[in-house]
Structure 1
Amino acid sequence: MTDPRIDPPFIAGEREMLEAWLDWHRETLAVKCAGLSDEQLRERSAPPSTLSLLGLVRHLADVERAWFRGILMGQDAPPRYKSEERPDDQFEAVATTTAEEAFAAWRSEVANAREVSADLSLDTIGKGLRHGSEVSLRWIMVHMIEEYARHNGHADLLRERIDGVRGD
């Protein structure tokens, strides 16, 4: 498989650099899942963990939704895959979920994030609060890079466990 990711530039302005790294990490998640069946994407890491590649896609769809719809734009954007009663459903309830559905939701949230943030300054303060505090778009983007980087590490291990494929 050819790698569709575009390496972030070595020299760029802050906005271009943040967007490039976030997009690189987003695409890394897709690369880690590429070519696997729904069943393989549902495979758990190791008991008792419920972590799976499909669960990571669902989780990151909810993370994109929470930060860009909820915090940045102040929209009422409840999670797609979890609730107060079932806070781990994004990972636990994957038995009947398809990759097509999960990736469509994730891609939709990524597209929304790009759209709503495109014309905003990095200094834009979100309309929602994080633990009672205001956050800037810059903070959200850095946090999203961190969130994807951490979970892409999980995805690396999951993918290697499923079929032995390793890589960046």
Structure 2
Amino acid sequence: MSDAYDRADAARTEPPQAAEERDTLVGFLEFLRQTFAMKCAGLTTEQLRARPLAPSELSLLGLTRHLAEVERGWFRNTLDNEAALRIWQHPDGSPAAFDAEHADQDEAFAVWRAECDHARELAAAAPSLDVLGHRRSADGREESYSLRWILTHMIEEYARHNGHADLLREHLDGRTGE
């Protein structure tokens, strides 16, 4: 992994306290992305693959792969209307991101960073938070989502999974913190 993800004390950029809506949303999302990277920093491949919270099968590496898929799905497929396939899937097409028992750490973090970079580019290029992206619901209906909704959802997604990451990290090496 790159130095930014190896350092357990990697600095995070605080979100702005008084800014326009877009800068605030992007600032919080970036802070949460950096928090996730911090939770994974300094661990071995075995630790990143470990599932210490039985009966849960969550691992930090599985969460990394899942977050890469989420970034891809909401920004590439929904906001930018791409038809990008899942990165990790089983032969039957079902999601395999969480199945990280034999996953490659360098690949997972490289893909996650690339998807985050692409998401940043798409969000920055959008003329406003009101830009709409589209996706099909489980029952086949087309649904529209504003960039505002996508950024807010991504903040929620990272906040939830950062809680998972915090518990996993605490069980792995006792490290706690924001």
Q: TM-score range by the shorter chain?
A: over 0.9
Amino acid at match of 2:170: E
1:134 aligned to 2:149?
no
Deviations 1:35-63 (A, max 9, x none): 00000001103223210000000000000
Q: How does 1:148-163 map to 2 (within 5 A)?
A: 148-163=158-173
Question: Which residue does the alignment assign to 1:17?
Answer: 24
Question: Which residue does the alignment assign to 1:99?
Answer: 105
Q: How does 1:33-44 map to 2 (within 5 A)?
A: 33-44=40-51
Amino acid at match of 1:110: C
Counterpart selection for 1:73 from 56, 62, 80: 80
Question: Which residue does the alignment assign to 2:3?
Answer: none
1:133 counterpart SS class: strand
1:126 counterpart SS class: strand
Contact 1:73 1:128 in 2 (8 A): no
1:89 counterpart SS class: coil
Question: Which residue does the alignment assign to 1:48?
Answer: 55
1:161 counterpart SS class: helix
Evaluate the alpha carbon distance shift between residue 5 and residue 22 of structure 1 in structure 2; reply closer, same or farther with a 3 A threshold: same
1:89 aligned to 2:99?
no
Would you identify which runs of 4 or more consecutive aligned residues in structure 1 move more than 4 Å? none
Contact 2:78 2:135 in 1 (8 A): yes
Between Structure 1 and Structure 2, how many residues are aligned?
A: 167
Structure 2: 5+ residue runs without aligned partners?
A: 1-7
C-alpha displacement of 1:84 = 8.1
C-alpha displacement of 1:128 = 3.2
Deviations 1:52-104 (A, max 9, x none): 00000000000000000100011011111135836352112x22222211000
Q: Which moved more, 1:158-167 or 1:115-124?
A: 115-124
Q: Which moved more, 1:141-150 or 1:83-92?
A: 83-92
Between structures 1 and 2, the one with greater strand share? 2
Evaluate the alpha carbon distance shift between residue 130 and residue 21 of structure 1 in structure 2; reply closer, same or farther with a 3 A threshold: farther
1:28 aligned to 2:35?
yes
Amino acid at match of 1:144: M
Structure 1: 5+ residue runs without aligned partners?
A: none
TM-score where L is the length of structure 2: 0.88
Paired with 2:19 and 2:93, the residues of 1 have a C-alpha distance of 42
CA RMSD, 1 decimal: 1.6
TM-score where L is the length of structure 1: 0.93
Percent of matched pairs sharing the same residue: 50
Paired with 1:106 and 1:97, the residues of 2 have a C-alpha distance of 13
Q: Which moved more, 1:80-89 or 1:117-126?
A: 80-89
